[in-house]
Amino acid sequence: MISHPALWAGRVMSGLAILFLLFDGTIKLVPLDIVIATSKEMGLPATRSFARFLGVVTLASTALYAWPRTALLGAVLLTGLFGGAIATHLKLDSPLFSHTLFGLYLGILVWGGLWLRDPRVRRVMPFLA
């Protein structure tokens, strides 16, 4: 059993991740010019259709994560998305702590929030005795 404050901490962590990912997915879905320019700099397809594809994947995965029944699937899908971002930044030799590891920071927020708010995840990953 997890304490009430820990449950709320998990909700806040998940909420912050969801808000960021909704913003990120929305600017790709539109897509803003900065998204196209950044995609080109990163060696990704600099097309509106590719940006929209990433936006749809981000928003769909985030929606799955936000819904309690499918939160675990959403977290797994988001982890794959974050891994791809980390790999891309590694390939480009981006700054380590601000760019390359940003996907790791988001992953910790997503999984930490889910661990605190979902007893199923705590049973699979029992960090506390």
The dihedral over CA atoms of 78, 83, 85, 86, expressed in degrees to the nearest 10, equals 140
Question: Are the C-beta atoms of residues 36 and 46 closer than 8 Å to each other?
Answer: yes
Q: What angle do CA 18, 6, 2 make, to 5 degrees?
A: 120
For 89-115, what is each residue's pLDDT tens digit?
A: 999 999 999 999 999 999 999 999 999
For 54-101, what is each residue's pLDDT tens digit?
A: 999 999 999 999 999 999 999 999 999 999 999 999 999 999 999 999
Q: Is 124 exposed, middle or buried (0-12, 13-18, 19+ CB in 10 A)?
A: exposed
pLDDT, mean over the chain: 96
Q: Would the pTM of this model clear 0.75, i.e. be above it?
A: yes
